[in-house]
Amino acid sequence: MRKDIHIPKVKDVFIVAVKEWDTEFLSQNWFVYLINDGDKSLEITMVVSRGYTKNQKTATLRHAFGLISPKSFKKIELLMEEVFTFTNEFLVTYFIGETLFEKTFVFPPNTILEKNQQVIPILDVHGVLAI
């Protein structure tokens, strides 16, 4: 039965970590963004985030976004440097029309570093792209 289920490949959707000025804490902090670089809107978008090591784990956070327009982005959350040594996962689910898409984006341990930054589409800033 599972072989009959078609799971479409996620493309033109990204999770990135960007270091930027935080006006609340008055310091440079890392924020996670969801980017829709496609030509269609993402509907009923959900993001579940969690971090873990062999011996520790973070709280699971859930974020709901109604609609994410084409060629746009949404700020998801602040990512504290204390969890950069964790595996940080972001499970993204959304609809395009009546089709459900799902992908888990991962920042492996110790990859959110300034030396790993690249140009990020739509935001036009440097950041770290999740795999």
Q: What is the CB-side half-sphere exposure of residue 106 using CA atoms within 13 A?
A: 8
- 12-20 mean pLDDT: 97
pLDDT of residue 68: 97
The percent of the chain in helix, strand and coil, each rounded to the nearest 5, is: 5, 55, 35
- Residue 60, domain CATH: 2.60.40.10
pLDDT tens for residues 88-131? Answer: 999 999 999 999 999 999 999 999 999 999 999 899 999 999 99
pLDDT of residue 23: 82
Q: Is the pLDDT of residue 40 over 80?
A: yes
CB atoms within 10 A of CB 110: 10
Which of 18-22, 57-61, 71-75, 87-91 is the least confident region? 18-22
Asked whether the whole model's pTM tops 0.85, one would answer yes
Count the domains in the chain: 1
- 75-97 mean pLDDT: 96
Q: Tokens 């030509």 label which residue? A: 39
Closest CA to 9 of 83, 82, 87, 100: 100
Q: What are phi and psi of 68, to 5 degrees?
A: -120, 110
Residue 104, domain extent:
2-129
pLDDT tens for residues 44-58? Answer: 999 999 999 999 999
Q: Please give the C-alpha separations between residue 28 and each of 19, 35, 52, 107, in angstroms, as whole numbers.
A: 6, 21, 24, 19
CA-based R_g, the chain, Å: 15
pLDDT of residue 27: 86
